Amino acid sequence: MELKNKSLFEIKDLIDGGSVSSVEVTKYFLDRIEKFDSDLNSFIQVNPKALDEAKAADDKIKSGQKGRLLGLPVGIKDLLCTKDLQTTAASKMLEGFIPPYSATVVERLKQEGAIVLGKLNLDEFAMGSSNENSYFGSVKNPWNLEFVPGGSSGGSAAAVAAGLAPVTIGTDTGGSIRQPASFCGVVGVKPTYGRVSRYGIVAFASSLDQAGPLSRTVKDGALISEVISGFDQWDSTTSEREVPQWSASISGDLKGKKVGIVKEYMEAKLHKDVEAQLKRAIDSLKEAGAEIVEVSLPLSRMAIPVYYMVATSEASSNLARYDGVRYGYRASFEDRPAESVEEFYCRTRGEGFGSEVKRRIMLGTYALSSGYYDAYYKKAGQIRRLLAEEFNEAFKKADVLIGPVTATPPFKLGDRISDPLEMYLNDIFTTSANLAGIPGMSVPMGFSEQGLPIGVQLMSAAYSEQVMFDAGQAVEERANISTRLPDGY
């Protein structure tokens, strides 16, 4: 039975109807990982207990137990702690680390019966936009192995696109779910900041990080978002708001809704293929009954410098814990003992971190240093607040906003890795949602002339995910590409 292009709901119906067992489904995807992932490099590790978990799920099904994800396999980005299963953050610094507990997101998936397929590759500590910064090697785009899958959740996106997993979990600090989702032709959801617990997620930038799903369909993404959302006593930033049943209420009928086109995004220099797919998406929303209005976000032009000031500063603070003393990689001093604590730290952190991580630590440390804090980090925080207010005003005029995910289609491996500034500009349209704390998602719309996927970005007001999912459903219904897989898979 072919399951590679089926949605999570379709596979669930097959399991619930007795047409296929959880063991058969899990083995199907494990076999595909073994067959195809040597080229893609999307998985860092396969869960050796996946079939045992599937067998336990089948026993629960036979005994009449229920679960929204009972028997369904899910891939986990290797930034989320998984009890008794290695968690590396794709860094030499954490190679071999076996967490004593699982992240709240993982626990909630397992409580609903999900099977952990394995841990997915990413840019080291989630710092990157191409998945070329991993200690375990670059992930390839399944649509063309010469191109990047996007980052930092590149492994999560590539695995879904190639049919190696029906759904995966990623994290989004500045676009790290939405950008790879666009590049790989899958749905990627970044929930409202505070919807999903960060407990057990290796921290990059704590005021920006948020976990979310990558899936074949909008409805699948809505279901996973429901499961992982909700208050958590271990994360004081989580909201106590009730989590709606988005997947049950989803509708592509947008009559009476207003969709805002962001003036500044349309004035940006977009690749012609991106611009063409964005216009198609806007037409799709019109066909669904939405009224199209224009909104303005002047401070969105400042999103990149503000984001990289905030994110690198928080990264500098968060990654200070990796000192080789308490945990993490420790340099060998057998041949040449360290003559000082400073040398011990320098050698350990110099060897344990990759170049991009060290670059961001240095940028953040500088921004937080005495004499520069007010000029850089504090100023960035003030602009961030004003940007959030601009979004609040925009959502008084529109229920949902639409724009590009990136300015270009996927680029070739190696094209931008030596130019950090050009790589950072890749996040120009995604970082604003993180700074403002609002939900955003990428929905596949079409393809470039080279046959590479292009998605469009939808955003809604904080805690208003339903209208975003509805708009995503309207786009998906008219794009009609959610069941398409790359050739050869």
3-state SS of 406-457 is CCCCCCECCCCCCCHHHHHHHHCCCHHHHHHCCCEEEEEEEECCCCCEEEEE
User: Distance between CA 273 and CA 130 in Å, rounded?
Assistant: 20
Is 482 one of the annotated active-site residues of the chain?
no
Question: Rounded CA gap, 446 and 409, in Å?
Answer: 11
The active-site residue out of 129, 134, 152, 460 is: 152
Mean pLDDT of 291-302: 97
CA 328 – CA 484 distance, rounded (Å): 41
Domain boundaries, the chain: 8-256
Token pair listed for 448: 């470039």
Radius of gyration for the chain, computed over Cα atoms and rounded to the nearest angstrom: 21
Handedness of CA 466, 472, 478, 481 (dihedral sign): negative
Give the pLDDT of residue 326.
84
The whole-angstrom separation of Cα 236 and Cα 35 is: 42
Are 153 and 178 spatial neighbours (Cβ–Cβ below 8 Å)?
no
With 90 as the cut, is the pLDDT of residue 420 above it? no
Separation CA 118–CA 29 (nearest Å) = 11
Residue 277 has pLDDT above 90, yes or no: yes
**7, 22, 176, 197: the active-site residue:** 176
Q: What is the pLDDT of residue 425?
A: 84
Task: Identify the bridge partners of residue 43 per DSSP, sorted by sequence position.
Answer: 120
pLDDT in the model for residue 356 = 96
Tell me which H or E stretch contains 77: strand 73-77
Estimate the crossing angle of helix 218-228 against helix 8-16, to 10 degrees.
80
Choose the CATH number for 8-256 among 3.90.1300.10, 3.40.50.2300, 3.10.20.340, 1.10.580.10.
3.90.1300.10
Rounded to two decimals, what is the model's pTM?
0.96
Determine if the peptide bond prior to 152 is cis (ω within 30°): yes
Helix axes 218-228, 104-111, angle to 10 degrees: 110
Q: For residue range 140-196, what is the model confidence (pLDDT) as tens digits? A: 999 999 999 999 999 999 999 999 999 999 999 999 999 999 999 999 999 999 999
Amino acid in the structure at residue 272: K
pLDDT, tens digit, for every residue of 132-142? 999 999 999 99
Task: Tell me: pLDDT of 423 over 90.
Answer: no
Rounded to an integer, the average pLDDT of 199-222 is 98
Query: Do residues 57 and 116 lie in contact, with contact meaning Cβ atoms separated by under 8 Å?
Result: no
The mean per-residue pLDDT over the stretch 322-336 comes to: 88
- CA 301 – CA 107 distance, rounded (Å): 38
Per-residue pLDDT at 424 exceeds 90: no
Cβ proximity of 147 and 410 under 8 Å: yes
Please report the DSSP string for 272-313 in residue order.
HHHHHHHHHHHHHHHHTTPEEEEE--GGGGGHHHHHHHHHHH
Q: What is the mean pLDDT of the chain?
A: 96
Q: Is the pLDDT of residue 419 over 90?
A: no
**What are 466's two structure tokens?**
């339903």
> Tens of pLDDT along 340-378?
999 999 999 999 999 999 999 999 999 999 888 888 999
C-alpha span between 172 and 433 (Å, rounded): 10
Catalytic residue flag (residue 176):
yes
Known catalytic residue: 77? Answer: yes
Whether the per-residue pLDDT at 125 is higher than 90: the answer is yes
Report whether pLDDT(421) > 90.
no
First to last CA, the chain: 15
Segment 467-488 shows an average pLDDT of 93
Q: What is the pLDDT of residues 95-114, one digit of tens each?
A: 999 999 999 999 999 999 99
Q: 12, 21, 42, 77: which is the annotated catalytic residue?
A: 77
